[in-house]
Amino acid sequence: MPPALHTLGILLFLLTGKVENVSFQQSSSQLVNEGTVKVKINCSHDDSSLTVMLWYQHKQSSQSMSLIGFGYASGSPNYEGQFEDQFKITREDTVRGALIIRRANLSDSAVYFCAARTHYNEPAYFGNGTKLTVLDPNIPITPPTVKILQPSLKECKDKKDKKNKKTLVCVASGFYPDHVSVFWQIEGENVTDGVATDNATLRDGKLYSITGRLRVPARTWHTPGRKFNCTVSFFNGTHTTYHSGLVYGTDLGQGEGMTREKYLQITQTAKLSYGVFIAKSSLYGVFVLVLVWKLQASSGKQSN
Protein backbone atom coordinates (compact mmCIF):
# COMPACT_ATOMS: atom_id res chain seq x y z
CA MET A 1 0.00 0.00 0.00
CA PRO A 2 1.44 3.45 -0.92
CA PRO A 3 2.95 5.33 2.07
CA ALA A 4 0.80 8.37 1.30
CA LEU A 5 -2.26 6.45 2.45
CA HIS A 6 -0.93 5.60 5.91
CA THR A 7 -0.90 8.99 7.61
CA LEU A 8 -2.09 12.42 6.58
CA GLY A 9 0.10 15.06 8.18
CA ILE A 10 -2.06 17.96 7.09
CA LEU A 11 -5.83 18.35 7.06
CA LEU A 12 -6.14 18.76 3.31
CA PHE A 13 -4.05 17.79 0.32
CA LEU A 14 -3.19 20.44 -2.24
CA LEU A 15 -6.14 20.48 -4.60
CA THR A 16 -4.88 20.05 -8.17
CA GLY A 17 -5.95 18.06 -11.20
CA LYS A 18 -8.80 18.20 -13.62
CA VAL A 19 -11.54 18.55 -11.00
CA GLU A 20 -11.84 22.20 -10.04
CA ASN A 21 -14.77 22.10 -7.66
CA VAL A 22 -16.24 19.14 -5.77
CA SER A 23 -19.24 19.46 -3.49
CA PHE A 24 -19.49 17.10 -0.50
CA GLN A 25 -22.34 16.29 1.84
CA GLN A 26 -21.63 14.64 5.20
CA SER A 27 -23.83 13.77 8.15
CA SER A 28 -24.26 16.53 10.74
CA SER A 29 -22.66 16.38 14.19
CA GLN A 30 -23.74 13.50 16.39
CA LEU A 31 -23.90 12.78 20.12
CA VAL A 32 -24.29 9.15 21.10
CA ASN A 33 -24.14 7.15 24.32
CA GLU A 34 -21.27 4.81 25.01
CA GLY A 35 -22.07 1.35 23.71
CA THR A 36 -24.36 2.55 20.91
CA VAL A 37 -24.28 0.00 18.08
CA LYS A 38 -23.78 0.91 14.42
CA VAL A 39 -23.29 4.66 14.43
CA LYS A 40 -23.48 5.69 10.77
CA ILE A 41 -21.86 8.67 9.06
CA ASN A 42 -22.99 9.23 5.49
CA CYS A 43 -21.02 10.87 2.69
CA SER A 44 -21.78 11.86 -0.89
CA HIS A 45 -20.19 14.05 -3.54
CA ASP A 46 -21.05 15.19 -7.06
CA ASP A 47 -18.17 13.94 -9.22
CA SER A 48 -18.46 10.41 -10.60
CA SER A 49 -14.84 10.48 -11.79
CA LEU A 50 -13.67 10.25 -8.16
CA THR A 51 -14.05 6.52 -7.76
CA VAL A 52 -12.01 6.07 -4.56
CA MET A 53 -13.68 7.06 -1.26
CA LEU A 54 -11.50 7.41 1.84
CA TRP A 55 -12.29 7.92 5.51
CA TYR A 56 -10.07 9.75 8.01
CA GLN A 57 -10.26 10.21 11.77
CA HIS A 58 -9.01 13.40 13.41
CA LYS A 59 -8.83 13.56 17.22
CA GLN A 60 -8.52 16.91 18.95
CA SER A 61 -5.40 15.77 20.79
CA SER A 62 -3.64 14.94 17.51
CA GLN A 63 -1.95 17.23 15.02
CA SER A 64 -2.63 14.87 12.11
CA MET A 65 -5.38 12.67 10.71
CA SER A 66 -5.32 8.89 10.58
CA LEU A 67 -6.54 6.99 7.57
CA ILE A 68 -9.22 4.46 8.56
CA GLY A 69 -9.55 2.89 5.13
CA PHE A 70 -10.71 3.32 1.55
CA GLY A 71 -12.70 1.55 -1.10
CA TYR A 72 -13.92 1.62 -4.69
CA ALA A 73 -17.52 1.59 -5.87
CA SER A 74 -17.30 -2.19 -6.08
CA GLY A 75 -15.20 -4.72 -4.23
CA SER A 76 -14.14 -5.02 -0.61
CA PRO A 77 -12.75 -1.98 1.23
CA ASN A 78 -9.19 -1.78 2.52
CA TYR A 79 -8.52 -0.93 6.18
CA GLU A 80 -5.53 0.38 8.06
CA GLY A 81 -4.40 -1.90 10.90
CA GLN A 82 -6.77 -2.29 13.82
CA PHE A 83 -9.42 -0.01 12.30
CA GLU A 84 -11.15 -2.96 10.68
CA ASP A 85 -12.25 -4.16 14.13
CA GLN A 86 -13.77 -0.76 14.96
CA PHE A 87 -15.22 0.45 11.66
CA LYS A 88 -17.01 -0.72 8.55
CA ILE A 89 -16.83 1.10 5.20
CA THR A 90 -19.77 0.71 2.81
CA ARG A 91 -20.50 1.98 -0.71
CA GLU A 92 -23.85 2.46 -2.42
CA ASP A 93 -22.35 3.62 -5.71
CA THR A 94 -19.53 5.78 -7.05
CA VAL A 95 -20.58 8.97 -5.27
CA ARG A 96 -22.24 7.64 -2.09
CA GLY A 97 -20.88 5.74 0.86
CA ALA A 98 -20.82 5.52 4.63
CA LEU A 99 -18.62 4.86 7.63
CA ILE A 100 -20.11 2.72 10.40
CA ILE A 101 -18.72 2.64 13.94
CA ARG A 102 -19.46 -0.93 15.02
CA ARG A 103 -19.87 -0.09 18.73
CA ALA A 104 -19.28 3.41 20.10
CA ASN A 105 -16.50 3.78 22.66
CA LEU A 106 -15.26 6.96 24.33
CA SER A 107 -12.11 6.70 22.23
CA ASP A 108 -14.20 7.06 19.07
CA SER A 109 -14.93 10.73 19.81
CA ALA A 110 -13.38 12.59 16.87
CA VAL A 111 -14.09 14.39 13.61
CA TYR A 112 -14.51 12.02 10.68
CA PHE A 113 -13.64 13.23 7.19
CA CYS A 114 -14.82 11.71 3.94
CA ALA A 115 -12.50 12.20 0.97
CA ALA A 116 -12.48 11.15 -2.69
CA ARG A 117 -9.91 10.77 -5.46
CA THR A 118 -9.51 9.15 -8.86
CA HIS A 119 -6.49 6.94 -8.02
CA TYR A 120 -4.32 6.37 -4.97
CA ASN A 121 -1.57 8.69 -6.27
CA GLU A 122 -3.94 11.54 -7.17
CA PRO A 123 -4.95 14.52 -4.96
CA ALA A 124 -7.81 13.93 -2.53
CA TYR A 125 -10.81 16.21 -2.12
CA PHE A 126 -12.31 16.48 1.38
CA GLY A 127 -15.71 17.04 2.91
CA ASN A 128 -16.23 19.35 5.89
CA GLY A 129 -16.17 16.51 8.42
CA THR A 130 -18.66 15.08 10.89
CA LYS A 131 -18.06 15.60 14.59
CA LEU A 132 -18.93 12.58 16.74
CA THR A 133 -18.97 12.70 20.52
CA VAL A 134 -19.46 9.55 22.55
CA LEU A 135 -20.88 10.75 25.85
CA ASP A 136 -19.10 9.84 29.05
CA PRO A 137 -21.76 8.35 31.38
CA ASN A 138 -19.92 9.83 34.38
CA ILE A 139 -20.23 13.43 33.18
CA PRO A 140 -23.66 15.12 33.21
CA ILE A 141 -24.66 17.27 30.24
CA THR A 142 -23.88 20.83 31.36
CA PRO A 143 -24.63 24.07 29.45
CA PRO A 144 -22.03 26.85 29.28
CA THR A 145 -21.66 29.89 31.49
CA VAL A 146 -21.00 32.94 29.31
CA LYS A 147 -19.16 36.07 30.36
CA ILE A 148 -17.86 39.04 28.35
CA LEU A 149 -14.60 40.71 29.36
CA GLN A 150 -14.56 44.43 28.52
CA PRO A 151 -11.78 46.03 26.47
CA SER A 152 -8.56 46.91 28.24
CA LEU A 153 -8.26 50.54 29.29
CA LYS A 154 -4.79 50.59 27.71
CA GLU A 155 -6.08 49.49 24.30
CA CYS A 156 -6.31 52.79 22.38
CA LYS A 157 -7.97 55.73 24.06
CA ASP A 158 -8.74 58.13 21.24
CA LYS A 159 -12.20 57.35 19.89
CA LYS A 160 -11.76 59.90 17.08
CA ASP A 161 -8.98 57.82 15.49
CA LYS A 162 -10.78 55.52 13.02
CA LYS A 163 -7.90 53.03 13.07
CA ASN A 164 -8.16 52.43 16.80
CA LYS A 165 -9.85 49.21 17.85
CA LYS A 166 -11.33 47.80 21.04
CA THR A 167 -11.39 44.07 21.74
CA LEU A 168 -14.18 42.35 23.64
CA VAL A 169 -13.51 38.79 24.82
CA CYS A 170 -16.29 36.24 25.30
CA VAL A 171 -15.51 33.29 27.58
CA ALA A 172 -17.85 30.27 27.60
CA SER A 173 -16.87 27.78 30.27
CA GLY A 174 -17.97 24.78 32.30
CA PHE A 175 -19.86 22.91 29.57
CA TYR A 176 -20.12 19.31 28.37
CA PRO A 177 -20.12 18.09 25.66
CA ASP A 178 -18.21 20.49 23.42
CA HIS A 179 -20.75 21.00 20.63
CA VAL A 180 -20.86 24.81 20.70
CA SER A 181 -20.76 27.82 18.38
CA VAL A 182 -20.07 31.45 19.26
CA PHE A 183 -21.60 34.50 17.60
CA TRP A 184 -21.85 38.23 18.35
CA GLN A 185 -24.50 40.92 18.12
CA ILE A 186 -24.39 44.71 18.45
CA GLU A 187 -27.74 46.28 19.29
CA GLY A 188 -29.42 43.01 18.33
CA GLU A 189 -27.82 42.84 14.87
CA ASN A 190 -25.51 39.93 13.99
CA VAL A 191 -21.92 40.93 13.25
CA THR A 192 -19.15 38.95 11.55
CA ASP A 193 -16.49 41.60 10.88
CA GLY A 194 -13.76 41.54 13.49
CA VAL A 195 -14.97 38.22 14.92
CA ALA A 196 -12.59 35.37 15.80
CA THR A 197 -13.15 32.16 17.77
CA ASP A 198 -10.76 29.52 19.08
CA ASN A 199 -10.25 26.71 16.58
CA ALA A 200 -11.00 24.14 19.27
CA THR A 201 -12.37 23.94 22.78
CA LEU A 202 -10.10 23.50 25.77
CA ARG A 203 -10.72 20.78 28.32
CA ASP A 204 -10.11 21.40 32.01
CA GLY A 205 -10.82 18.19 33.86
CA LYS A 206 -14.25 16.99 32.76
CA LEU A 207 -15.59 20.25 31.32
CA TYR A 208 -14.77 22.46 28.35
CA SER A 209 -14.24 26.13 27.62
CA ILE A 210 -13.92 28.25 24.48
CA THR A 211 -13.05 31.89 23.81
CA GLY A 212 -14.32 34.27 21.15
CA ARG A 213 -13.23 37.81 20.34
CA LEU A 214 -14.86 40.86 18.77
CA ARG A 215 -12.79 43.83 17.57
CA VAL A 216 -14.72 47.02 16.91
CA PRO A 217 -13.73 50.64 16.19
CA ALA A 218 -13.09 52.56 19.39
CA ARG A 219 -15.89 54.98 18.53
CA THR A 220 -18.32 52.04 18.34
CA TRP A 221 -17.39 50.90 21.83
CA HIS A 222 -17.35 54.43 23.24
CA THR A 223 -21.10 54.86 22.85
CA PRO A 224 -22.76 54.81 26.28
CA GLY A 225 -25.52 52.22 26.56
CA ARG A 226 -24.78 50.42 23.28
CA LYS A 227 -25.44 46.69 23.72
CA PHE A 228 -22.85 44.04 22.87
CA ASN A 229 -24.06 40.43 23.07
CA CYS A 230 -22.08 37.22 22.88
CA THR A 231 -24.29 34.16 22.38
CA VAL A 232 -23.15 30.56 22.57
CA SER A 233 -25.28 27.85 20.96
CA PHE A 234 -25.06 24.52 22.79
CA PHE A 235 -26.20 21.19 21.38
CA ASN A 236 -27.13 18.78 24.17
CA GLY A 237 -27.91 15.78 21.99
CA THR A 238 -31.61 16.44 21.45
CA HIS A 239 -31.87 20.19 20.81
CA THR A 240 -29.86 23.42 20.77
CA THR A 241 -30.01 25.96 23.60
CA TYR A 242 -28.63 29.50 23.60
CA HIS A 243 -26.68 31.21 26.37
CA SER A 244 -25.69 34.88 26.28
CA GLY A 245 -23.51 37.48 27.94
CA LEU A 246 -24.16 41.22 27.66
CA VAL A 247 -22.11 44.38 28.19
CA TYR A 248 -22.82 48.04 27.50
CA GLY A 249 -20.56 50.52 25.77
CA THR A 250 -19.13 53.41 27.71
CA ASP A 251 -18.09 56.98 27.03
CA LEU A 252 -14.40 57.75 26.63
CA GLY A 253 -12.73 58.20 30.00
CA GLN A 254 -15.39 56.41 32.02
CA GLY A 255 -13.33 53.25 32.44
CA GLU A 256 -14.58 49.77 31.70
CA GLY A 257 -17.94 49.13 30.17
CA MET A 258 -20.84 47.85 32.19
CA THR A 259 -22.02 44.31 32.38
CA ARG A 260 -25.74 43.67 32.57
CA GLU A 261 -25.36 43.06 36.28
CA LYS A 262 -23.53 46.35 36.76
CA TYR A 263 -26.13 48.20 34.72
CA LEU A 264 -29.01 46.74 36.72
CA GLN A 265 -27.19 47.42 39.96
CA ILE A 266 -26.60 51.04 39.01
CA THR A 267 -30.20 51.58 37.93
CA GLN A 268 -31.51 49.92 41.09
CA THR A 269 -29.20 52.06 43.20
CA ALA A 270 -30.36 55.15 41.35
CA LYS A 271 -34.01 54.22 41.91
CA LEU A 272 -33.34 53.59 45.60
CA SER A 273 -31.50 56.89 45.96
CA TYR A 274 -34.34 58.70 44.23
CA GLY A 275 -36.86 56.99 46.51
CA VAL A 276 -34.89 58.00 49.58
CA PHE A 277 -34.69 61.56 48.25
CA ILE A 278 -38.46 61.67 47.72
CA ALA A 279 -39.07 60.27 51.20
CA LYS A 280 -36.75 62.81 52.80
CA SER A 281 -38.37 65.62 50.82
CA SER A 282 -41.81 64.49 51.96
CA LEU A 283 -40.70 64.33 55.59
CA TYR A 284 -39.13 67.77 55.28
CA GLY A 285 -42.36 69.10 53.77
CA VAL A 286 -44.36 67.67 56.66
CA PHE A 287 -41.88 69.19 59.11
CA VAL A 288 -42.26 72.62 57.48
CA LEU A 289 -46.07 72.38 57.53
CA VAL A 290 -46.06 71.46 61.23
CA LEU A 291 -43.65 74.29 61.98
CA VAL A 292 -45.81 76.81 60.11
CA TRP A 293 -48.92 75.52 61.86
CA LYS A 294 -47.27 75.92 65.27
CA LEU A 295 -46.10 79.44 64.42
CA GLN A 296 -49.58 80.38 63.29
CA ALA A 297 -51.09 78.89 66.43
CA SER A 298 -48.59 80.74 68.57
CA SER A 299 -49.28 84.07 66.79
CA GLY A 300 -53.02 83.56 67.30
CA LYS A 301 -52.61 83.12 71.05
CA GLN A 302 -50.42 86.23 71.33
CA SER A 303 -52.97 88.36 69.47
CA ASN A 304 -55.68 87.24 71.87
Same-domain pairing of 15 and 130? yes
Q: Is residue 256 part of a domain?
A: yes
CA-nearest of 213, 207, 229, 74 to 144 is: 207
Number of domains in the chain: 2
39 touches 29 (CB < 8 A): no
Same-domain pairing of 19 and 61? yes
Q: How confident is the model at residue 118 (pLDDT cuts 50, 70, 90)?
A: very high
The predicted model gives 155-170 an average pLDDT of: 74
pLDDT of residue 139: 96
pLDDT of residue 255: 52
Same-domain pairing of 113 and 151? no
Same-domain pairing of 126 and 166? no
**pLDDT higher than 50, residue 100:** yes
DSSP the chain: --GGGTEESSSS----SS-----EEEPPPEEEETT-EEEEEEEEES-TT--EEEEEEE-TT-SSEEEEEEE-SSS--EE-TTHHHHEEEEESSSSEEEEEEEE--GGG-EEEEEEEESSTTSPPEE---EEEEEE-TTS--BPPEEEEEPPPTTS---TT-TT-EEEEEEEEEEEBS--EEEEEEETTEEE-TTEEE-SS-EEETTEEEEEEEEEEEHHHHSSTT-EEEEEEEEE-SS-EEEEEEEEE---TTS-SPEEHHHHHHHHHHHHHHHHHHHHHHHHHHHHHHHHHHHHHHHHHHHH-
The last residue of a domain, from among 135, 170, 186 = 135
Q: Is residue 293 part of a domain?
A: no
Its pTM stands at 0.71
pLDDT in tens, 263-283: 455 445 545 544 544 555 556
The predicted model gives 111-122 an average pLDDT of: 90
Q: Is residue 244 part of a domain?
A: yes
Same-domain pairing of 67 and 150? no
pLDDT of residue 6: 33
| Domain containing residue 214: CATH number | 2.60.40.10
**pLDDT higher than 70, residue 180:** yes
pLDDT of residue 154: 75
Same-domain pairing of 102 and 178? no
The predicted model gives 188-198 an average pLDDT of: 96
Same-domain pairing of 130 and 149? no
Q: Is residue 288 part of a domain?
A: no
Q: What is the mean pLDDT of the chain?
A: 82
Of the chain, the percentage scoring pLDDT greater than 90 comes to: 64
Q: Is residue 245 part of a domain?
A: yes
Q: How confident is the model at residue 251 (pLDDT cuts 50, 70, 90)?
A: confident
Lowest mean pLDDT among 49-58, 140-149, 163-172, 269-278: 269-278
The last residue of a domain, from among 135, 153, 169 = 135
The predicted model gives 99-107 an average pLDDT of: 97
The last residue of a domain, from among 93, 114, 135 = 135
Same-domain pairing of 96 and 162? no
**pLDDT higher than 90, residue 40:** yes
Of the chain, the percentage scoring pLDDT greater than 70 comes to: 74
Tell me which residue range forms the domain holding 127: 3-135
pLDDT of residue 67: 96
**pLDDT higher than 50, residue 5:** no
